[in-house]
Structure 1
Amino acid sequence: MKKVDFVQIKAELCGYGLGQGTRYCFDGVEELIRQRLESGWEYDGYVPLTTRGTGAIETISLIFRKELED
């Protein structure tokens, strides 16, 4: 049997650029994925949940899967 878990991450302001003005980043996502992998979870991807008016992704949901022992 498999267990699925979702972790929502919101983009945070991380600087200012020339094109679109402000820049947003998903800081800490790689470390969170690494920790989950080390705990036996598998990373299955992400789903964008909300976007800004400019089209930039504001919130994502990371998808993790783990095989449960019977």
Structure 2
Amino acid sequence: MPKTKTHSGAKKRFALTGTGKIKRKHAYKSHILTKKETKQKRNLTHVGLVDKTDEGRVKLMLGLK
């Protein structure tokens, strides 16, 4: 059986933590930042975690399952 390929878009966007959770970046932080409040931009800077309902799908794309 051939090896499964990693989804190249997913490997750029997600990273695994030491405990096995999946880190992600928040959306809406890339452009048109002048109309967004400083507080909103600051809160979007922090790293988020992928929800447990989506973890299986992301792990499949990363080739972990």
Q: Which TM class, normalised by the smaller chain length?
A: under 0.3
Q: Which has the higher helix share?
A: 2
Q: TM-score, with normalisation over the residues of structure 1?
A: 0.26
Q: Which has the higher strand share?
A: 1
Q: TM-score, with normalisation over the residues of structure 2?
A: 0.27
